[in-house]
Amino acid sequence: MSGTKAKRRRILIVDDEEILTKTFSMLLERSGYEVYVAKNGQDALAMTGEENFDLVICDMRMPGLNGVETLKAIRSGTGENANADLPVIFITGFADEKTEQEASTLKPVGYLYKPFDNVNLLSLVKETLTDERTNR
């Protein structure tokens, strides 16, 4: 691979908490990932319609579209960036059994419950993006 630079993996963070998204962005960028932020589900849909991502980290509870609705819409989208297999990590501060059951039908690669350790986030991201099934 002489003379070529490895492609940075692209991560979309979808969360309405600005402090959290800034913290995640800094952490992931320092780890070599290319990070994008959407403050809600509608913004995430617009971004995934224009860009390709390797992973989505999405809050389950947000105003407007919740995380489950957002991921369903992203995965069923049309156009060249539609991705029915786009991996997602759900984050939540509230363990709502009904929403979790609905989310599990979407086969997320993991859940992180707030508050969580940044090491756990990085570990799950690295594991997901090095998994052969998500290497694209």
Tell me if 5 is assigned to some domain.
no
CB 4 within 8 A of CB 28: no
pLDDT of residue 13: 97
pLDDT on residue 107: 87
Residue 3 forms part of a structural domain: no
Question: Is 2 a residue whose pLDDT tops 60?
Answer: no
- Residue 54 inside a domain? The answer is yes
In this model, does residue 80 exceed pLDDT 60?
Answer: no
- The residue segments making up the domain with residue 24 are 10-131
Residue 38 lies in a domain: yes
**CA–CA distance, 112 with 85 (Å, rounded to integer):** 20
Query: What is the per-residue pLDDT for 76?
Result: 83
136, part of any domain: no
CA 42 from chain centre, in angstroms, equals: 14
Domain assignment present for residue 58? The answer is yes
- pLDDT tens sequence across 82-100: 677 899 999 988 767 777 7
> Domain tally for the chain?
1
**Predicted confidence (pLDDT) at residue 59 exceeds the cutoff of 50:** yes
Task: Give the whole-angstrom CA distance, residue 119 versus residue 80.
Answer: 34
Interval 14-43: pLDDT, tens: 999 999 999 999 999 999 999 999 999 999
- Residue 73 sits in a domain of what CATH number? 3.40.50.2300
- Residue 84 DSSP label: T
- Of 78, 100, 61, which Cα lies nearest the Cα of 70? 61
In-domain check, residue 2: no
**Does residue 112 lie within any of the structural domains?**
yes
The label of the residue with tokens 């995934």 reads 48
**% of residues, the chain, pLDDT over 90:** 50
Is it the case that residue 69 has pLDDT exceeding 50? yes
Q: Pick the more confident residue, 107 or 1.
A: 107
For residue 81, what pLDDT band results from cuts at 50, 70 and 90? low
With contact defined as beta carbons under 8 Å apart, do 9 and 34 qualify?
Answer: yes
Residues 59, 125: Cα–Cα separation, whole Å:
15
